[in-house]
Amino acid sequence: METTSKDKRFTAELEKNIAQIKRELGDSVDLVKRNIFFVGNRKVPSVLFYIDGLASVEHVEKVIDAMMYEGNEFIKRNELMISDLQTLIEQHVLMNTSFSMIEEVEKALIAILSGDSILFVDGCEKAFHIQTKGWDTRSVDEPQTEQVVRGSRDGFTENIRTNTALVRRRIRDPELRLETMSVGLRTRTDINIAYINGVVKKGLVDEVKKRLNAIKIDGILESGYIEEMIADSPFSPFTTVMSTERPDKVASALLEGRVAIFVDNTPFVLVVPTYFWQFLQASDDYYMGFMAGSFFRIIRYIAFVISLTLTSIYVMLVSFHQEMIPTPLALTIASGREIVPFPVLLEALLMEITFELMREAGLRMPKPVGQAVSIVGSLVIGQAAVQAGIVSPFMVIVVAVTGISSFAIPNYSASYSIRLIRFPLLIASGSLGLLGFSVMFALLAIHALSIRSFGESYLAPATPFQPNDQKDTLIRFPWWAMKKRPQLADGDTIKLGAHQKPKPPNKVKNPLEMSKDNQEESGEKNSEQKDKSKDESRDTSDITGLRRWKKKSGSNKGEKRKE
């Protein structure tokens, strides 16, 4: 915007200010200008600017009401002096709304464009910036891309404030910090950075801010823009920034010492730094029992390996290393392949591409034609293709299993990066056999090992191996066994109090003695409750929970010794 400059300030003359605003905004049709006469013992002309559709009509009306009718007796009685006008309005009129005073034209313009109203009062050098934001938003809904069986069903919306509130609702810690900035020369998109002070590693927040500040782009329409602009290795097929629709995922990431980047107008929130294994971990893992969670997580790891390598291994074996196939299987494969006119590699590419086509078509097509596509699709990848002699039945199975496995990966961006990697792997193994496969796989592994996500090793905690973090990688340990935060967190690393493993109560004694014991126990309980209430009263003075735990665990130990 060349016409605006930050130095420009408002003047005391109303007409000039109006002209200024109108000039800057090009007198757009959606710019609403409302003339209000402030009623005191004399009428003072004032003007309210806002953008139709962005500002909430209710809010605006409230402001107008206040300005026109609710001028109280005090104002009416007293002589209206120009010099007092500003203070008068501040202190006696605009009581129902939050507002601030601004001087610069630039700020006023941004305020108007983001849905707030600007009120000019004749004779005031400053403008009133009144919060009237209130455009239509989608309600909080179930996330589309990351669904869970057990877990909260709320997902982020397009409204950044709703999104931060969803996270704030989960973490009521005063140490949860939100910082705002705007990126995009023309879009001026609001971006909020969230982190928990005292848990996040020092320097990480600065690094995130530095990278965000370095973005010079005219527009940010989705967090994908940010993701691409701040990623560590731009040419990597792996996604080094995780995006999620789930507030619980963001909250858990914050507790692990990560930084979340909220971008306005998108339900996808970015989380940095990201480890590769995070893409294979669903939030369900943490809500189901630890055994079920670990089991399904292992299944997902297997699914990852299958979706990455199965087609390549099949192609490699069938076209180069037939001796590695068990004999009965070799015969079966050979019998299926006898009528197929293409080499295996071509057959695999054909099927894989067909599958990708179907997936893409399924995503893009309008919902009413979905059935048609699925019927035709199942014919293409199915019995008909086999009967026509284009593909062998084995290839159908291989591609189908690969496809299904790729759906088991909970994060969509990870699943497409795996799909991307699959093709070079397939071509390499189809043209050089085991040699090609292993070289390509080694290259991929080297690449994955070498990339970083905000200074953190991408494959951590596998490499570099962090023993403590293994509790939450391949298998998930029960919550009461995960004592420490991941290595990533700094400062406040203990997240669990002492003696958290649940225990059954002591064995019940002789029933005849029960009644006695009950009495005693109830007495004990009472005393315990008293202790608890004491503790709680103490807790209110402690703000961080950890200090509380430390004290408690200390006292517990003392009690044990007494016993």
Binding residues for other proteins (CB under 8 A): 235, 318-320, 322-323, 325, 327-328, 330-340, 343-345, 386-389, 393, 427-428, 430-433, 436, 439-440, 443, 447
DSSP character string of 206-247: HHHHHHHHT---S---SHHHHHHHH-S-TT-SS--SEEES-H
Measure the CA–CA gap between 231 and 7, rounded to whole angstroms.
35
Helices 393-407 and 412-450, axial angle in degrees (round to 10): 90
CB of 391 to other proteins, least distance (A): 9
CB of 163 to other proteins, least distance (A): 35
CB of 460 to other proteins, least distance (A): 21
CB of 350 to other proteins, least distance (A): 15
Determine contact, residues 279/410, Cβ cutoff 8 Å.
Answer: yes
Determine contact, residues 194/254, Cβ cutoff 8 Å.
Answer: yes
CB of 219 to other proteins, least distance (A): 28
Query: Letter for the amino acid at 459?
Result: L
Measure the CA–CA gap between 75 and 269, rounded to whole angstroms.
48
Helices 223-230 and 204-213, axial angle in degrees (round to 10): 110
Nearer to other proteins, 433 or 497 (CB): 433
Nearer to other proteins, 392 or 411 (CB): 392
Nearer to other proteins, 250 or 391 (CB): 391
CB of 415 to other proteins, least distance (A): 23
* Gyration radius (Cα) of the chain, Å: 32
Residue with tokens 């909260």: 152
Nearer to other proteins, 375 or 435 (CB): 435
Determine contact, residues 256/120, Cβ cutoff 8 Å.
Answer: no
CB of 507 to other proteins, least distance (A): 43
3 alpha carbon, distance to own chain's centre: 37
CB of 430 to other proteins, least distance (A): 7
Nearer to other proteins, 101 or 324 (CB): 324
Nearer to other proteins, 109 or 340 (CB): 340
CB of 374 to other proteins, least distance (A): 23
- Helix (H), strand (E), coil (C) string for 410-461: CCHHHHHHHHHHHHHHHHHHHHHHHHHHHHHHHHHHHHHHHCEECCEECCCC
Nearer to other proteins, 344 or 459 (CB): 344
**Is the dihedral angle over the CA atoms 536, 541, 546, 550 positive or is it negative?**
negative
CB of 387 to other proteins, least distance (A): 5
Nearer to other proteins, 19 or 388 (CB): 388
Determine contact, residues 126/105, Cβ cutoff 8 Å.
Answer: no
CB of 383 to other proteins, least distance (A): 8
Nearer to other proteins, 410 or 436 (CB): 436
Which residues have C-beta within 8 Å of that of residue 283, sequence separation ≥ 6?
146, 148, 151, 246, 248, 249, 252
Which residues have C-beta within 8 Å of that of residue 88, sequence separation ≥ 6?
40, 75, 80
CB of 417 to other proteins, least distance (A): 17
193 HSE (CA, 13 A, CB side): 22
Question: What would the two tokens of residue 263 be?
Answer: 């971008």
CB atoms within 10 A of CB 494: 14
Residue with tokens 């206040």: 66
2 alpha carbon, distance to own chain's centre: 35
Nearer to other proteins, 31 or 380 (CB): 380
Q: Which residues pair with 243 in a beta bridge?
A: 270
